[in-house]
Structure 1
């Protein structure tokens, strides 16, 4: 099993100009990893900043050369189902040598109409996927349950379209991570491997990212399911820390009705709420920025160590 790293794991370094795609690729190699997953969506409220600075063929050739230099695999993260946009992303993936693209349907809030039209839109790019031998993976991205993702895949009914199994995102739709992985594993073409806790933010509970191995998701069980229940040859680390987000669906939507047990156990917030509110974790104030950047860097190191240990335990 190969292990890769998603750019979101270092989002604070990217948005502060301390990392670019080339230094990220080198960092992944330095960490002893096998691949990179490049998220090409501009950051929220930072639309001018993107992992890929250009879609110019010469620039993309430089990116591919850097990936090849370290003998890494590459995948791309995007969002949406607009055929014109997806076609552009497929062409980009082809130019950098990426053979899997992640996308998702809903963007920030659940939208049944977007889910309804997703299959017909995605079908329009299947010929291009086939041409370049690239697979498209639909993610359970906070708003969608596993069954909703599987429904889209079944309607498309193409070997070029499968699932992106995010082991933690189902929690935002009140879905137990282990159950979500069980459902998505047979359809999975790629992954995000992460960890979460539940925290109390004033009168609201939120899902909070933490370094992998420090949360309450049964990651060992998730890893074993992906090993035995899927045809995956790669697992991608996406450490979403610092990050906290509200639930996106009504309690019970994904089968869990309340917080308190298992992955939904309530823990203390990683930062003093008197200093920073969870809603500000993603873009912290200047007074905490340096500390949280260092925490993120250390968190990636911890996450990589944890996942590599799982691989050594179950794959070697």
Structure 2
């Protein structure tokens, strides 16, 4: 099993000029990991179309590919939405990079039912290009959809080129136990976002799902890893260390089978940040805390990488 790293794990460093895609590739290799997942979604201070990748200029893409190959890494792309015109450009860029999997997600903040209904038709339009370049599309359960809703979508599309990005933690935002998420999505999974979470309290009425170093949270990451190793044909698992990060619940209690906070993975914990700010400020921390949060993020990534390599040693050797 190969272990990769998603650029979101260093989002503060990318946003604030502390890292570019070449730095990230070198850091991934330094950590002893096997691949990179490059997020091309717009974010603060990043290219509005190509995110952490920076550009789709062919010369730039070739340089990125050469850097990836220099360290013997694999490469995947993280995108969003299903709009065909945009996605054809993404597939062309992925081909130049040597990426064989593109992750996307359907809901971009609109009406979920309409987005899910439109997705099969959009994806049908890009299937010929995916087939041409032998690239698979992996749709993520992205905070709004239960595992059952994702499986229904994949069955509607009904193509061997389209499957799932199994994000082991995103089901929590729809009140789904992570082990249930992984068990249900495993048969359809092409790639992953592997992470850990705790529940934290923002104020009296506001509870959030909060990223934390893998192994330090309340997700049974050991069991999730074991399922992905034993019940899929996966050859890669990608770390997405989502701290500093928090997310709100997107559906009503019980939507994914869990009805209350307080037990197991939904136990409420103290906020984990090293500075005194609200969880809602983690992703974009105040300037006076930025340096401390960037240092903390790097420490959390390193801890997560070490933990994941140990899991691989436990289950894959």
TM-score, length basis structure 2: 0.97
Distance 1:257 1:46 in 2: 38
Distance 1:186 1:45 in 2: 38
CA 1:11 to 1:159, structure 2 compared with 1: closer, same or farther past 3 Å?
A: same
The match for 2:32 is 32
Residues 1:101 and 2:102 are matched in the alignment: yes
Distance 2:12 2:88 in 1: 29
Distance 1:183 1:110 in 2: 24
Moved more, 184-193 or 52-61: 52-61
The match for 1:2 is 2
Q: Is the 8 A contact 2:15 2:44 kept in 1?
A: no
Shift of 1:107: 2.0
CA 1:47 to 1:95, structure 2 compared with 1: closer, same or farther past 3 Å?
A: closer
Distance 1:50 1:233 in 2: 26
CA RMSD of aligned residues (A): 1.4
Distance 1:147 1:130 in 2: 26
SS at match of 2:217: coil
Deviation string, structure 1 residues 184-219 (Cα, Å, up to 9, x no partner): 010000000000000111121110000111100000
CA 1:217 to 1:110, structure 2 compared with 1: closer, same or farther past 3 Å?
A: farther
The match for 1:180 is 181
Shift of 1:45: 7.9
1:227 to 205, 212, 229: 229
Q: Is the 8 A contact 1:38 1:75 kept in 2?
A: yes
Residues 1:114 and 2:111 are matched in the alignment: no
Shift of 1:262: 1.3
The match for 2:85 is 84
Distance 1:157 1:264 in 2: 34
CA 1:86 to 1:168, structure 2 compared with 1: closer, same or farther past 3 Å?
A: same
Deviation string, structure 1 residues 231-274 (Cα, Å, up to 9, x no partner): 1000000000001111011111111111111111110111378x
TM-score, length basis structure 1: 0.97
SS at match of 2:237: strand
Query: Unpaired segments of 5 or more residues in structure 1?
Result: none
Distance 1:173 1:45 in 2: 30
The match for 1:189 is 190
2:266 to 250, 264, 267: 264
Distance 1:266 1:117 in 2: 37
